[in-house]
Chains A and B, each alone.
Chain A
Amino acid sequence: MENLVYTALFAPLIGSLFAALFGMSPKKQFVGVVTSILLFVSFVSSAKLWAYVSEHGPVHVRLMDWIVAGDMYVPFGFNVDQVTAVMMTVVTIVSTVVHIYSNGYMEHDKGFNRFFSYLSAFVFSMMVLVMSDNFLGLFIGWEGVGVCSWLLIGFWYHKEDVTRDVNPSISPSWAANEAFIMNRIADLGMLVGIFLIYWNFGTLQYDAVFERVPEMGHGLLVAIGIFLFIGAMGKSAQFPLHTWLADAMEGPTPVSALIHAATMVTAGVYLVIRANPIYSEIPEVSYFIAVLGTFVAIFAASMALVNRDLKRIIAYSTLSQLGYMFAAAGLGAYWVALFHLAAHAFFKALLFLGAGNVMHAMHDELDIFKMGDLRKIMKWTYLYMGLASLALAGIWPLAGFFSKDTILEVAFNEHAYGIWFILWLTAGLTAFYSFRLVFVAFWSGNRYEKFGMHPHEVQPYVLWGMLPLGILAVIFGWYHESFMHFVTKLLPAYEMSEHTHHMTGTLITVTTLIALGGILVAFRLYSHKLKRNEKIENSMPYRVLSNQYYIPIFYERVFSKPYAELSDIAWKEIDMQVVDATVDGIASIVEETGDSARGMQTGNLSDYLKWMAFGLVALAIMAVIVAMKS
């Protein structure tokens, strides 16, 4: 059993290191093949571990001692329990599909080997994150995924910076820096949380900490909960640290599929789920998390309504669904959040990969208004993306229906009617903008010909690679009962009250209606020949939404520029004038002393005799003084 754990954990690392050997060389096909195979091995181990854990319970291994300093003991330990098994399997299956896909997508890229190295390193960090049995290991994985996402978003780092109206993300390296720095800011909060945990609990192991949670003071738990959530906010791009997610679309599409749909952004949700004993004790913080999640859900959906960029629409939908997950977790239904996490991973990754196909066909064109009627040429991609969008909209019997509806039920059950209403509205908006994307790109009349493009479908093996995700997006929801039984062995079960049970039918109907309504509106507006309405496009609400509520510009003016000025001052005034001057001053003192001492060496015998006499007299006086003292 331990071997399975180590295999699942280290296979991606081996793949990454192997690919790194060829990092500077031109593309070598076997690099992509080997890393994909190793990822598949990791997936098989994860699946086997899931099966094992469901029968025998959690598997706990300890690789070695890491920090043994005084009272502090932190090992490299890994604990595969039900939650971890779910996360591992989701991560590895999506990663395997993405690796196979990348073989096709990055075919002509010069940095082919480097890409696979980074990708596998990312998966390794994510595995460390979910498999660790202590907060410090979690943090290591946390930082690792942050670094790898920086490497991957900025993969095409040689692209120049441009202004915001040309490209709202300015450039891949700028977007990578933004992502990393925002994550770092949030990590500070998380570190404070971890410090608080260590300081008060004396240990960082999950089991030890969670045992003693009931004994701790309420204020302390609130503080810990808040600080850990700040870390989750950065990783899962909750408001106000959300701007990096949309800009992260500068990276290659497989990166968006893996990182920003399925894995890294879900790390924040994982943290909240993992720390559920803490959050169960502090319902006010949990409620705040739920409210924030709801706000983000509708906030992101509003920005997706008017966007023209293919990947950005999907990015905003990710942001919106993350809000759903946090809403569920905040309301105490942790297993529901985990379920939605898994389902979302599948259909979102599928959506991104489909978008990648479209981009490849359209020579990296991202504006959906330059596409149209692609369903006639790219049948399979159309099918996949349609399926994924249906799942996203929450239509029965696809996966999204089971998870999203359960979240709405939970909100209703908690008598959080405001949350319910907003989430319900967002479901309609989600359906609308997802199908706006589908109809504008795949229906609505051929617009690409006048740009001289000749799109074609991708190679068959890529489509076969996407099939597992497609299947899962369809069938995953049907297993929600057994999923619940499996996961609630660890997580608290969530029982709906009797009142809600009666209302379930009504709730489902209402939700489905608004989803179908959204799809219909999109159909009416976009499926036939497209008419651009200039008046609407220039109106204030439209412009506010398409500029992301001007928040990035606000951040730049209020935070980035003053900070840059501060750094400038620190450099010019403090570093150069104080520090450098001090060091130079010491050096010049030494030099000048030497210079003046040079006067002793004149070559003149008379001067030397004078110095000798002087020394003699001085020594004699000192001898007399010493002798007189004693």
Chain B
Amino acid sequence: METFAFYFLSISIALLFGVTVMSKNILYAMTSLAAGMVLISGLFFILGTDFLGVVQLIVYVGAVMALYSFGMMFFDATGNIDEKHKDSRVVFILGGLSAVVMVVIFAAPLMAEHAHSFYPPVEGATNPQAVGLVLFTKYLVPFEVAAIMLLVAMIAGIILAGKRMDESLSKIEDSELAESSAKDDK
């Protein structure tokens, strides 16, 4: 059962990501990316890391892909995009080589006999509970730092993309607001 699920999921993910990389249409690329991410989350569930799977769904598929969709709207890129590709062969060779090398690098330490785990899960806890236990004790500082980082990113995103940030909409009189919006329309 697990075998079938793994192969189905992995082949689908690989194909979908292939579409993302090769397609000329942004919409197709984005859609296949989102689908791939959903299927990756399925992989996580198979592995037994439930919490991570849910986080993947919520954050990646929900938030990140939504962001990309809004971005796509903004850039007006619904049509086909022409791209000039010069040496495709070099690129694919590089990719293949990197895959092989990566496998070798990953495999090596795992062949070793002396791997031991730093944070083994507590007996009898479900995955979310175990994750919570470790996250809020051993990884507390990184957690807080990550929170601040997200805050900063949010502020940065707003400032980078916002218009007329020095005015406060709630404090302007209604009449002025109407005038300025009329000006904008022109």
Contact = CB atoms under 8 A, between A and B. Distances in A.
A614 B94 CA distance: 7
Interface in A211-266: none
Interface in A589-626: 610, 613-614, 616-617, 620-621, 623-624
Contacts of A623: 105
B90 A620 contact: no
20 contacts: A610-B90, A610-B94, A613-B94, A613-B95, A613-B98, A614-B94, A617-B94, A617-B97, A617-B98, A617-B101, A620-B101, A620-B102, A620-B105, A621-B97, A621-B101, A623-B105, A624-B104, A624-B105, A624-B108, A627-B108
Contacts of B14: none
Contacts of B97: 617, 621
B91 interface: yes
B90 A616 contact: no
Contacts of A616: 98
B94 A624 contact: no
Contacts of A613: 94-95, 98
A623 B102 CA distance: 11
Secondary structure of the A side of the interface?
helix
Secondary structure of the B side of the interface?
helix
B82 to A, nearest CB: 15
Q: Classify chain A: how many residues form its interface, as a range.
A: 10 to 19
Nearest to A623: B105
A67 B160 CA distance: 80
A620 B100 CA distance: 10
B173 to A, nearest CB: 47
Given A610-B91, A613-B98, A624-B105, 9 more contacts: A610-B90, A613-B95, A616-B98, A617-B97, A620-B98, A620-B101, A620-B105, A624-B101, A624-B104
Nearest to A613: B94
Nearest to B109: A627
A623 B105 CA distance: 9
Contacts of B91: 610
A315 B108 CA distance: 97
Nearest to B108: A627
Interface string B72-106: 00000000000000000011001101100110110
A620 B106 CA distance: 11
B103 to A, nearest CB: 10
Contacts of B101: 617, 620-621, 624
Contacts of A621: 97, 101
A181 B104 CA distance: 77
Contacts of A614: 94
A610 B92 CA distance: 11
B174 to A, nearest CB: 47
Contacts of A617: 94, 97-98, 101
6 closest pairs, A vs B, by CB? Answer: A620-B101, A617-B98, A617-B97, A613-B94, A624-B104, A621-B101
Nearest to B90: A610
B91 to A, nearest CB: 7
A616 B97 CA distance: 10
A70 B136 CA distance: 79
Nearest to A627: B108
Nearest to A622: B101
A613 B90 CA distance: 11
A616 B105 CA distance: 13
Contacts of B90: 610
Nearest to B93: A617
A621 B96 CA distance: 13
The listed residue with most B CB atoms (<10 A of its CB), out of A610, A613, A617, A627, is: A617
Interface string B143-164: 0000000000000000000000
The listed residue with most A CB atoms (<10 A of its CB), out of B101, B102, B105, B108, is: B101
A620 B91 CA distance: 17
A621 B100 CA distance: 10
A623 B91 CA distance: 22
Interface string B21-38: 000000000000000000
A617 B97 CA distance: 7
Contacts of A610: 90-91, 94
B107 to A, nearest CB: 10
A610 B104 CA distance: 22
Contacts of B102: 620
A620 B103 CA distance: 11
Interface string B95-128: 1011001101100100000000000000000000
A198 B153 CA distance: 87
A623 B94 CA distance: 17
A620 B90 CA distance: 17
A621 B97 CA distance: 9
Nearest to A624: B104
A614 B92 CA distance: 11
Contacts of B108: 624, 627
A623 B106 CA distance: 12
Nearest to B101: A620
A610 B102 CA distance: 17
Contacts of A624: 101, 104-105, 108
Nearest to A607: B86
Nearest to B96: A617
A616 B99 CA distance: 12
A610 B89 CA distance: 12
A620 B105 CA distance: 8
A318 B151 CA distance: 109
A173 B108 CA distance: 84
B61 to A, nearest CB: 26
A623 B98 CA distance: 13
A613 B102 CA distance: 13
A388 to B, nearest CB: 98
A614 B102 CA distance: 14
A245 B102 CA distance: 89
A616 B95 CA distance: 11
Interface in B13-70: none
Contacts of B95: 613
A498 B94 CA distance: 111
B104 to A, nearest CB: 5
A624 B101 CA distance: 8
The listed residue with most A CB atoms (<10 A of its CB), out of B90, B95, B97, B108, is: B97
A51 to B, nearest CB: 99
Nearest to A621: B101
A614 B101 CA distance: 12
A613 B87 CA distance: 14
Contacts of B105: 620, 623-624
B62 to A, nearest CB: 29
A624 B97 CA distance: 13
A454 B102 CA distance: 110
B106 to A, nearest CB: 11
